[in-house]
């Protein structure tokens, strides 16, 4: 009899993001070799997916050059062939629409992020109410762009990981999902908590979002700083999946600086076991998310 994998938890490691720097945590990978080594450590710790914003190896800034991205992808696959790669379409705030979708069109990853709405996207001091970084930053994802990216992903066989930052984004996707053929069913959602401009993690906010999920949908959570752990604990207990990594949080639950995203993956593995769940392997993750069998094209 085939094993029941419905209770298994998928762990994603988000290695860099677009804004976390080595000044904040020196473990942020920049070079193709560093991406490969960090991805391998995350895989060995228990992650089945890595979410990528590739960096320029010299400047450390988010990279749009396809050959630099290709080098990082190739290094990851050489060191951890079974890992599922999830490419970001939110490369940076200056990237054009075509630059943002180009890695998906060229490399055809099994998964890629699909952002659900336009929003303020900033970093702030919650004690003083002052915006520290990105006070004039608008993360633009209008209806035209969301639909165009969804169509491109469907054309190349990439499943959208639908990024939900607030209730408006959720209702945007529910509206667009009424179109015949825009999305292949069932959908997969990532609830992103704690971005200044979006909603924070609370149990009430998580309950509101999960109550709106279309039938058969899968879902995961991530959160900024301590909200990574708060959201992860609740998601694990409720049957969701968990994303960790230095993109979202540079520290461990103890408050110590993480030596890499892999340390947070180890925490997520312990969390799964505490909540009575096993960790999904890459092959089980492909089945749970209904991903295509073909791997990324590099």
In DSSP terms, 192 is beta-bridged to 222
Helix (H, G, I), strand (E, B) or coil at 40: helix
Q: Calculate the average pLDDT of the chain.
A: 96
Total-model pTM = 0.97
Tens-place pLDDT, residues 222-235: 999 999 999 999 99
What distance, in Å, lies between the first and last C-alpha atoms of the chain? Answer: 36
Q: What is the pLDDT of residues 70-117, one digit of tens each?
A: 999 999 999 999 999 999 999 987 899 999 999 999 999 999 999 999
Taking 50 as the pLDDT cut, the residues of the chain under it are 1
What is residue 1's predicted lDDT score, i.e. its pLDDT?
37
Considering only CA atoms, give the Rg of the chain: 18
Q: Cis omega (within 30 of 0) on the bond before 186? A: yes
How far is residue 63 from each of residues 7, 213, 257, measured CA to CA in Å?
Answer: 37, 33, 25
Query: Could you give the angle at the alpha carbon of 113 between the alpha carbons of 51 and 184, nearest 5°?
Result: 125
CATH no. of 11-289: 3.20.20.70
Domains of the chain, by residue range, sit at 11-289
């Amino acid at each position: 009899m085939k094993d029941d994998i419905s209770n298994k938890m998928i762990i994603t490691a988000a290695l860099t993001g677009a804004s976390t720097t080595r000044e904040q945590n020196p473990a942020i990978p920049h070079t193709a070799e560093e991406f490969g080594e960090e991805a391998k450590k995350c895989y060995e710790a228990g992650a089945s997916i890595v979410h990528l914003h590739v960096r320029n190896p010299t400047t450390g800034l988010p990279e749009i050059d396809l050959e630099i991205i290709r080098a990082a992808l190739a290094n990851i696959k050489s060191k951890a062939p079974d890992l599922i790669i999830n490419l970001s379409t939110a490369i940076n705030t200056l990237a054009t629409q075509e630059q943002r979708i180009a890695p998906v069109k060229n490399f055809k990853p099994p998964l890629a992020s699909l952002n659900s709405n336009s929003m303020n996207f900033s970093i702030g001091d919650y004690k003083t109410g002052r915006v520290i970084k990105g006070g004039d930053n608008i993360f633009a994802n209008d209806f035209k762009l969301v639909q165009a990216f969804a169509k491109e992903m469907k054309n190349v066989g990439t499943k959208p990981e639908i990024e939900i930052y607030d209730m408006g984004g959720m209702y945007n996707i529910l509206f667009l999902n009424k179109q015949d053929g825009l999305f292949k069913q069932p959908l997969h959602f990532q609830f992103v908590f704690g971005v200044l401009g979006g909603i924070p993690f609370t149990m009430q906010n998580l309950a509101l979002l999960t109550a709106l999920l279309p039938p058969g949908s899968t879902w995961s959570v991530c959160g900024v700083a301590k909200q990574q752990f708060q959201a992860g604990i609740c998601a694990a207990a409720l049957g969701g999946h968990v994303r960790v990594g230095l993109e979202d949080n540079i520290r461990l639950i103890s408050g110590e600086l993480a030596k890499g995203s892999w340390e947070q993956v180890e925490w997520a593995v312990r969390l799964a076991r505490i909540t009575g769940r096993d960790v999904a392997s890459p092959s089980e993750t492909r089945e749970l998310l209904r991903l295509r069998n073909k791997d990324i094209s590099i």
